[in-house]
Amino acid sequence: MILEGLVTTTSDDGGPHLAPMGPRADIPLTTLLFRPFPTSTTYRNLLAHGEGVFHLTDDVRVIARSAVGRLTEVPATRAAERVNGFVLVDACRAFEFVVRSVDDSTQRINLATEIVKTHELRPFLGFNRAKHAVLEAAILATRMHLIPANEIEAEFRKLRIIVDKTAGPNEDEAMTFLEAYFAEMKLNQPGS
């Protein structure tokens, strides 16, 4: 199963780096398989340090902004307990992990990890339809180089209807942000 969440890794300067990731997870959550691109900061950090923290959160604002590289600062963190890393204090759950193997023989790197500490930070309120819609919109926004803009735009219109029907203020804020991001990127595409 793929879990959508956020991963913190340690940057070269010793500070936290945050990125959205969807690792494959086993049940009962003892391992995670990350598949970053070799050009990503997350990959470089995991290769250099061999550990990090994966977070499950229901705050789609952070997921949306980090997905498109527009998170202005990493949310509040505290030190991890079993790895040299950072735990997001407002996440629902956090999983400290260590990298056990690296397979770089394909376009997407396979980093097999073992979870060494689990944190229950706050209750997971769950995902309503609006949170799911924002998550899908965030993923679409990262695929503008793969999917024609008119197809993404059509999906955004469908997702906006769901957000309008079921969102709270956080989900509406996240969707509005993604719509503005998409409009900006669409204007900057060649041929626009």
pLDDT tens for 59-100 read 999 999 999 999 999 999 999 999 999 999 999 999 999 999
| Mean pLDDT, residues 151-179 taken together | 97
Confidence of residue 191 (pLDDT cuts 50, 70, 90): low
Per-residue pLDDT, 156: 98
Per-residue pLDDT, 125: 81
Domains of the chain with CATH codes: 5-120 (2.30.110.10), 129-187 (1.20.58.290)
Q: For residue 192, is pLDDT > 60? A: no
Q: For residue 24, is pLDDT > 60? A: yes
Which residue from 61, 70, 68, 20 is spatially nearest to 42, judged by alpha carbons?
Answer: 20
pLDDT tens for 100-159 read 999 999 888 999 999 999 999 999 987 799 999 999 999 999 999 999 999 999 999 999
The pTM for the full model equals 0.92
Could you give the C-alpha distances from 33 to 90, 111, 136, 159, in angstroms and in order? Answer: 24, 6, 21, 29
Q: For residue 187, is pLDDT > 90? A: no
